[in-house]
Amino acid sequence: MENLIALLIAAPLLGAVVLLCGGRRLDKTGHWIGTLLAAVSFGIGVVLFADMLGRSADDRTLTQNLYTWIPVEGFQADMAFQLDQLSMTFVLLISGVGTLIHVYSIGYMEHDERRRRFFGYLNLFVAAMLLLVLADNYLLLYFGWEGVGLASYLLIGFWQHKPSAATAAKKAFLVNRVGDMGLSIAIMLMFTTFGTFAFTPLFGAVGETSEGTLTAIGLMLLLAACGKSAQVPLQSWLGDAMEGPTPVSALIHAATMVTAGVYLIVRSAAIFNAAPDAQLVVTVVGAVTLLFGAIVGCAKDDIKKALAGSTMSQIGYMILAAGLGPVGYVFAIMHLVTHGFFKAGLFLGAGSVMHGMNDEVDMRRYGGLRKYMPVTFVTFGLGYLAIIGFPGLSGFFSKDMIIEAAFAKGGTEGWILGGVTLLGAGITAFYMTRVMLLTFFGDKRWQPDADGHEPHPHESPKSMTIPMVILAFGSVFAGAFFEIGERFLKWLEPVTGYSHGNPPVSAMTVTAATMVMLLVGVGIAWAMYGKRPVPVVAPRGSFLTRAARRDLYQDDFNHVVLVRGGEHLTRSLVYLDHSVVDGVVNGTAASVGGLSGRLRKLQNGYARSYAVSMFGGTAILIAATLLMRAV
């Protein structure tokens, strides 16, 4: 079975090569090739999963070493893969949800003349993400990490004829480069400290290393996670990434890119467990981002950007849980998987709404769409109930576990983190109810576009609705399936470990408090958007509302601190170069030139002048010699 691991990556990678290099002859069949090869990867994953289930818990790690990638004395990196319970979870999520997004894209991108290239990029994205989670060492993981960054750049900017899309792609690429520097520094520290990049020997030697070194490595890994998973302070790219086609938003936000940071932290559990200060910073970043993204999502009228704020917030839950250590690792991954179902379904539902509304994204121009798009309404509605934590649906189980784990941290820290997660649950219920009410309820508010064409909302084709139905099924049942008999906990515990913690309150109390916050959030949203007419043009709103519409001034902050700061630094360096460096060089050259000009006057071409000079020089030498002897 070990020999099948590389095929998980090879199938979508082959699709990317064929579709991107095959030329226009594949335009009519390229989308089928890309979808088939993504499905092949998922099929191989299912076979490996079935084999893994037949093994004992301590015999479920499979490894495959293809060859030595970098054979240098004292420095060796292998093209080797490791498949265990953690990476298998990601393999099934990435290839399964990724295949559904491929199927959805067949209908969504039907009229795009560059559809073949789009599917090639999708395949490349899936292959890079699979390489990231299957690598058995950090250097190979970094290779997949950069591949995901490249693929996201290509997909976000796929419609590069739009300046906004080209700018968004560049922004995502540059912001992620900051995080990537963190990962590269962490890898350098690992090699100088442990002499290896491979997970098994590195984690085994953690106990022999100082806490300060491990804290430094942990903080650099967190910086990398902040970039890929759009966490504070590197979250500014995520909202703009909505400029790409909607299937890209679903792929990035649900199954691939933004989950990479969570995977990195959980995979590096041995390092973070030995570096409590780094763990604390992880929980703080997760808690801040949880509220940051939720507040931003409350004020967005663009349906995709509202969901983008939601993604930022939900990933914040996962990062916070991962920062809790063995108390929260399992639940971070559990919420990641359930989020993969309902968030992919929500984004595909948003794309279905846009498909029926002439690509309109402003929810204030929707209203009453449940009558025109029943399948989209039901599937989107189930995703909505799952993300707000409605009892019995997948988000209820995974989010509730994270809230309990936050309280189980114990002490003042546990109460603070628990309170933040409860507040986040209430805000989530508010902004997602707002999305539902603005989109599917109330009176129709759509208007003719600039060309006088009025939208005629209609249900999407089956190639789009079938993936939405399958994802809705996962949104409803995945959480309960994982929770019954503690299936998911027992599945991941051999890799991540688990500690029950010391919760100050009972699980029933936490659940009751969560339900109260849910009802409060839904109630406020209903009072504001369900009982009142919705203006087509958003009112000016309070200061907080205006700030949330501007993403809490994150771009303004970056512009003032980084862009303007960079401009001033550049101008200072240019002035230093011109005034000091060039001044020294040019001044030296001018001095030599001036001296040469004066000396050149002595070379007048007259022999008698040269004879006089020689005679004078000789006389000076004789006089100096006599003077020295006299002394």
pLDDT at 385 (0 to 100): 97
pTM score: 0.90
Contact 261, 319 (CB under 8 A): yes
- C-alpha torsion sign, points 574, 576, 581, 587: positive
pLDDT at 2 (0 to 100): 84
Tell me: the pLDDT tens digits for 218-251?
A: 999 999 999 999 999 999 899 899 998 989 988 8
From CA 331, how far away is CA 319, in angstroms rounded? 10
Contact 396, 495 (CB under 8 A): no
Q: Which residues contact 263 (CB under 8 A, 6 or more apart)?
A: 86, 90, 132, 133
**With a cut of 50, which residues of the chain have pLDDT below it?**
none
Burial of residue 611 (number of CB atoms within 10 Å: 0-12, 13-18, 19+):
exposed
pLDDT at 562 (0 to 100): 73
pLDDT at 631 (0 to 100): 66
Mean pLDDT value across the chain: 91
pLDDT at 378 (0 to 100): 97
Closest CA to 295 of 526, 114, 541, 71: 541
Helix/strand/coil percentages in the chain, nearest 5: 75, 5, 20
From CA 15, how far away is CA 3, in angstroms rounded? 20
Distances (CA, A) of 345 to 53, 135, 577: 28, 29, 55
pLDDT at 602 (0 to 100): 66
Tell me: the pLDDT tens digits for 285-305?
A: 999 999 999 999 999 999 999
Q: Amino acid identity, residue 284?
A: V
How big is the CA angle at 146 (ends 142 and 150), to the nearest 5 degrees? 170
